[in-house]
Amino acid sequence: MPVPIVGVIGGGQLARMMVPQALELGIEIRVLAEAEGSSARLAATEVGDYRDLETVREFARGVDVVTFDHEHVPQEILRALIDDGVAVHPGPHALEFAQDKLAMRRRLTELGAPVPEWAEVRTEAELDAFIAAHGGAAVLKTPRGGYDGHGVRIVRAGSEGADWFGDFDALLVEELVDFRRELAQLVARRPSGEIVAWPLVESVQQNGVCKEVLAPAPSASPRENEVTRAIAEQIASGLDVTGVLAVELFETTDDRVLINELAMRPHNTGHWTMDGARTSQFEQHLRAVLDLPLGDASARDAASVMINILGGPQHEAITDRFAAVMARHPEAKLHTYGKSARPGRKVGHVTVSGGNLDEVAYAARAAAAMFDDEESAE
C-alpha cells in the first residue's frame, strides 16, 4: 500500500492537531489553508479559497480522501468533488445537517432523536406565537453561519429577530431548555460502518464559548451514558456521518437529555482525548476517513480536565507563558495553536489527567489561570 494521503480543507487548529497523529501512522497530510501562516502551516501544501471550485478541485487531485477542519465548504463544491470521483468524508449529504440547523432539526425529528421543541419561523408574528406558547422566552438561531455563540440569541419578542429575518428566509426557534449542565458525546464512524464512542463528557460554556471539559462526565449514571451513546450512534448511522461526530447535549433538570448541536469533525469537547484517551479524536478521525479500523477510545485516567486558553488584550503569544506554567505545573499538558492571540480567540488548551477529579480540576484551572491577563500584572 502506498502512503495514504489525507487532504484537509481548512488550516485551523483541528487540521494542525491531526499532523502529529498522521506522522506517527505514516499518513501524508496535505492542508488547504485560508492564508499563509495558518495554524496548520507545517502541513499546508496550498493556500486558497475553499469556496472556489477550481482551487478545491486542484487541491483534491491526488489525495485519497478529502476531510475538513470546518464545515463551511459549500455543498456544490463537495458534490463536484464526488462527481470527480474523490472520496469525501464526511460526505455532503451528512455535512448538510451540520451546515443547516433547520435541516438538522428536521432530520433528527424524523429519526425520533430527542431534541428541544422547535419550529421554523419566517415572520416576527410566527416567532411571537412560539414565544407565547413556550413561557415567554425562546432561543433563536440562524440556520447557517453560527459558531461559538454567534448566530444564537435568547429572545422574548418577535421583534428581536427583525435583523435576522432580513438575512434569512427562515430561522430556527427552540424552547429555552431548563438544563442542569451541558454534555458532549463524541463517536467516530468509518464508511464501512464501525462506530467507536469515547466516554461522555461534561462541557462548561462561558459567553457561548466552551471553557472547560470534564472527562468522563462526573456522576453520569450508567443509564445516561447508555442513552447518550445510543443517541450519537443513531445519529452517526442515520445521517451517514464518517469521521468524528460530536453531539452536544443538554442534561435537563428533569433528567432527560436533549440534542443541542452537531459537529462533524474533531471537536473542542474532544481535545482532552489527546492526553486522556487511548486513541485521540485526531488519530481516530484520520483512521475513520481512511476507513481504517478504529482504536480503543477509553479514558486513560479516572479524570481529565481540559481548559481552553483564549487570547487576551495583553499578551501576544501564549507560548510566552509556557515556561512559567511548566515550572509550577509539571503535570499539565500544554498545547498551542500557533495563532496570534486576538481577544477571545481560542489559541490553545491545557489538560491535566489523574486519579482524582478534584485534584485534576484544581491543577488544570490553576495552570489555565496563569494565562489570564490579571496574572501578568502580578
Say how many C-beta atoms besides its own lie within 10 A of residue 36's C-beta.
9
Q: Which of 51, 122, 156, 300 binds its own copies (CB under 8 A)?
A: 300
On the CB side of 377, CA atoms within 13 Å amount to: 5
Helices (H), 255-356: 273-276, 281-289, 322-328
Contact flag: residue 30 with its own copies (CB under 8 A): no
Instruction: Classify residue 236 by its DSSP letter.
Output: H
Taking a C-beta distance cutoff of 8 angstroms, is the pair 216, 201 a contact? yes
**Measured from the CB atom, is 21 or 269 closer to its own copies?**
21
Q: Is 211 annotated as a binding residue?
A: no
Taking a C-beta distance cutoff of 8 angstroms, is the pair 200, 228 a contact? yes
Q: What distance in Å separates the CA atoms of residue 59 and residue 18, rounded to the nearest whole number?
A: 18
Contact flag: residue 16 with its own copies (CB under 8 A): yes
Q: What distance in Å separates the CA atoms of residue 216 and residue 305, rounded to the nearest whole number?
A: 9
Contacts 24+ apart (CB under 8 A), 206-211: 207/149, 208/148, 208/149, 208/150, 208/152, 209/148, 209/149, 209/308, 209/310, 209/344, 209/346, 210/148, 210/268, 210/269, 210/308, 211/307, 211/308
Q: Is 183 annotated as a binding residue?
A: no
Looking at the chain, the number of H-run helices and the number of E-run strands are 13, 17
Contact flag: residue 233 with its own copies (CB under 8 A): no
Taking a C-beta distance cutoff of 8 angstroms, is the pair 94, 107 a contact? no
Positions in 253-282 near its own copies (CB under 8 A): 278-279
**Measured from the CB atom, is 188 or 217 closer to its own copies?**
188
Contact flag: residue 141 with its own copies (CB under 8 A): no
**Measured from the CB atom, is 203 or 351 closer to its own copies?**
351
* C-alpha separations of 40 from 162, 183, 200, 338 in Å: 39, 28, 28, 8
Q: What distance in Å separates the CA atoms of residue 181 and residue 288, rounded to the nearest whole number?
A: 30
Q: Report the sign of the C-alpha dihedral through residues 128, 130, 134, 139, in that order.
A: negative
Contact flag: residue 304 with its own copies (CB under 8 A): no
Q: Is 260 annotated as a binding residue?
A: yes
Contact flag: residue 69 with its own copies (CB under 8 A): no
**Nearest-approach distance from CB 62 to its own copies, in angstroms:** 18
* C-alpha separations of 35 from 38, 49, 72, 173, 338 in Å: 6, 9, 16, 35, 13
**Nearest-approach distance from CB 162 to its own copies, in angstroms:** 44
Contact flag: residue 330 with its own copies (CB under 8 A): yes
Q: Is 268 annotated as a binding residue?
A: no
Q: Which of 82, 176, 317, 366 binds its own copies (CB under 8 A)?
A: 317
Q: Which of 35, 137, 326, 369 binds its own copies (CB under 8 A)?
A: 326
**Measured from the CB atom, is 171 or 352 closer to its own copies?**
352
Contact flag: residue 355 with its own copies (CB under 8 A): no
The stretch near its own copies (CB under 8 A) out of 133-141, 237-245, 265-273, 325-333 is 325-333
**Nearest-approach distance from CB 337 to its own copies, in angstroms:** 8
Q: What distance in Å separates the CA atoms of residue 266 and residue 187, rounded to the nearest whole number?
A: 10
Contact flag: residue 24 with its own copies (CB under 8 A): yes
**Measured from the CB atom, is 139 or 286 closer to its own copies?**
286
**Measured from the CB atom, is 196 or 262 closer to its own copies?**
196
Contact flag: residue 327 with its own copies (CB under 8 A): yes
Taking a C-beta distance cutoff of 8 angstroms, is the pair 296, 276 a contact? no
Contact mark string toward its own copies, 142..181, x via CB under 8 A: ----------------------------------------
Contact flag: residue 42 with its own copies (CB under 8 A): yes
Q: Which of 134, 295, 344, 345 binds its own copies (CB under 8 A)?
A: 295
Binding-site residues for ATP, please? 101, 141, 174-177, 182, 260-261
List interacting residues with its own copies (CB under 8 A).
Answer: 1, 3-4, 16, 19-21, 23-26, 42-43, 196, 278-279, 287, 292-296, 300-301, 317-320, 322-323, 326-327, 330-331, 333-336, 338, 353
